[in-house]
Structure 1
Amino acid sequence: MNLVVQGDDVDSVALKTVAKLTGASAIEQINPQAFRLVGAHEHGEVEAVCATAALDWTWVEPGRRLADFGLFVTDMDSTLINIECIDEIADMQGLKAEVATITEAAMRGEIDFTESLTRRVSLLAGLPESALTEVYEQRLQLNPGAERLMRGLKSAGIHTVLVSGGFTYFTERLKARLGFDEAHANQLEVVEGKLTGRVSGPVVDGAAKAAHLRAARERLGLRPDQVIAAGDGANDLPMLTEAGFGVAFRAKPVLRKAADCRLDHVGLDGLLNLFA
């Protein structure tokens, strides 16, 4: 196997240490932030060395290229973007701390997602719809590397899907902004310009995310190993299980354990380095 090691500032001593530990036959520079250790073998000390040097590391099959994939599915909140939208909306009601506590428990997998969503959305009742615009325009930012990742995926001809337990107000805008082929999320109910505290239609939970991935994969005639999925929390676990290559971005422990790739230090575009 090859081992791709990357970071914002790759320490040469740490890199050579990992190469020696894994018995790599060569070190190939992909770019200044990423290196490929050719013919490496697993070693128990790799994780500790990389963690100390703030490096991400991922095992990649030799010869695997981005064009080998046909579908990319990603979560939105805290994966594609830097916030949990519902927490920021709740802040308009002075309830951010209360809602954020529920959000965090759901992302760790400690409470059922649908239950957590229902509880959180109910607290938003009476808030003007304009609060959503304020969150999008003033608080939402793309996570590092998001735009470069999307350009790389589109250049490789990969179908892209944004699927979220968040809300369509945000996914539809990000779909247009970044060029996603599809977007799926929950619809906040609005009556006379105010949120009712309810969602319309079926809840997009972990199972629904996985179902959207399967539907796209089958429609495109792809195998599971031709699918990449990215997320950060327990709600993303079902879709990462359905994908051939799972990416945990700044993720909770429950998702990190199941992922093929963990990106804790580099941006989302670090995914492109794996298959360069």
Structure 2
Amino acid sequence: MTMNLVLQGPGVPAAIMEGIAWLAHPARVTVLPSQALRCEEVAATPDVVEAVQAAALVARVDATFIEAGRTLADFSLVAMDMDSTLITIECIDEIADMQGLKAQVSEITESAMRGELDFAASLTRRVALLAGLEASSLERVCEERLRLSPGADTMLAAVKAAGLTTLLVSGGFTFFTDRLKTRLGLDYTHANVLEVEDGRLTGRVIGGIVDAEEKMRTVERVCAELGVDTRRAIVMGDGANDLKMMGVAGLSVAFRAKPVVRAQADVALNFSGLDGVLAVLG
């Protein structure tokens, strides 16, 4: 199998990336419009991969080995996690901040994302701490703190132009996914529903929890609706609860992700924006 190596690092001098490139003994090196480098016909042996990845990490460069010839045209769906993937924040942590409980909730969130806690149980614990908070606080989080991750707009514009369907599937909340669907023109969203009574959060969610299994099932359902195999999906995430849906995808992308996720993903974007996937796919 012929492999390419794509190197990209915002602000990294070309000479440094070229030095990393030659560790893979490429037949050709092409500078891409995004200032990334595509190294063609590389020697992707374990020793070479280890050397390239080590040098790239020190230089703050993302290095991706990928089968030659893969493009966006190979895919039909882009499925994205929301918190800390499509957007820069963990919404539940910012909601908890309105209760003065951000540190406590963030600690549970981090443990869950590292895979140390069962996601559903951890979400139930975290949501319970929000009981009594005015529902209007969600709007404050949306207006004051919710920001798209770097490169999100560019990535979404490119995948839509290529005719791909978009799915936002989140262990977070519909309050935010619904707004992002409207704002970004997404095709599908799926998330947890916070229960509200008399204008305040009850500390409970309505219906089943969107955990790792449900995220995977959602990708499978949408692919079935589109009439395509899940290998036609690109799946992006950052936490352990994204691993199952990433596992059924044709291309898994770890974005600023936890180590357990980076280790299992096809593409790890530690320094580039979400649009880094465009360079990987030509």
Q: How many residues align?
A: 276
- Corresponding position of 2:242: 236
**Equivalent position SS for 1:135:** helix
Measure the CA separation in 1 of the matches of 2:59 and 2:264. 23
In the alignment, structure 1 residue 253 sits paired with structure 2 residue 262: no
Measure the CA separation in 1 of the matches of 2:116 and 2:34. 40
Measure the CA separation in 2 of the matches of 1:201 and 1:274. 38
Displacement after TM superposition at 1:32 (Å): 4.4
**Equivalent position SS for 1:173:** helix
Q: Contact 1:14/1:50 (CA < 8 Å) preserved in 2?
A: no
Q: Provide, for residues 145-204 of structure 1, a one-character-per-residue CA deviation record: whole Å limited to 9, x for no partner.
A: 111111011000001100000000000000111111000000000001100000001100
Note the residue ranges of structure 1 that are not aligned, 5 or more in a row: none
- Corresponding position of 1:123: 129
Measure the CA separation in 2 of the matches of 1:165 and 1:96. 18
In the alignment, structure 1 residue 89 sits paired with structure 2 residue 92: no
- Corresponding position of 1:136: 142
**Equivalent position SS for 1:45:** helix
Aligned amino acid, residue 7 of structure 2: V
Q: Provide, for residues 209-234 of structure 1, a one-character-per-residue CA deviation record: whole Å limited to 9, x for no partner.
A: 00000111122121233110000000
Measure the CA separation in 2 of the matches of 1:270 and 1:230. 12
Measure the CA separation in 2 of the matches of 1:46 and 1:11. 16
Aligned amino acid, residue 69 of structure 1: F
- Corresponding position of 2:274: 268
- Corresponding position of 1:50: 56
Note the residue ranges of structure 2 that are not aligned, 5 or more in a row: none
In the alignment, structure 1 residue 151 sits paired with structure 2 residue 122: no
Aligned amino acid, residue 6 of structure 1: Q
- Corresponding position of 2:41: 39
Q: Contact 2:9/2:272 (CA < 8 Å) preserved in 1?
A: yes
Which of these residues, 67, 77, 82, is aligned with residue 71 of structure 1?
77
Which of these residues, 169, 173, 180, is aligned with residue 167 of structure 1?
173
Aligned amino acid, residue 26 of structure 2: A
Displacement after TM superposition at 1:275 (Å): 1.4
Which of these residues, 20, 23, 27, is aligned with residue 22 of structure 2?
20
Q: Superposed, which structure 2 residues align to 1:101-120 within 5 Å?
A: 101-120=107-126
- Corresponding position of 1:191: 197
Measure the CA separation in 1 of the matches of 2:142 and 2:58. 36
Displacement after TM superposition at 1:139 (Å): 0.7
Aligned amino acid, residue 62 of structure 1: A
**Equivalent position SS for 1:31:** coil
**Equivalent position SS for 1:151:** helix
Aligned amino acid, residue 12 of structure 2: V
- Corresponding position of 1:8: 10
Measure the CA separation in 2 of the matches of 1:32 and 1:171. 29
* TM-score scaled by length of structure 1: 0.98
| Bigger mean CA deviation after superposition, 94-103 or 218-227 | 218-227
Q: Contact 1:10/1:34 (CA < 8 Å) preserved in 2?
A: no
Q: Contact 1:228/1:247 (CA < 8 Å) preserved in 2?
A: yes
Displacement after TM superposition at 1:35 (Å): 1.1
Measure the CA separation in 2 of the matches of 1:109 and 1:24. 37
Measure the CA separation in 1 of the matches of 2:81 and 2:220. 15
Displacement after TM superposition at 1:142 (Å): 0.5
Displacement after TM superposition at 1:239 (Å): 0.4
Q: Contact 2:219/2:230 (CA < 8 Å) preserved in 1?
A: no
* TM-score scaled by length of structure 2: 0.96
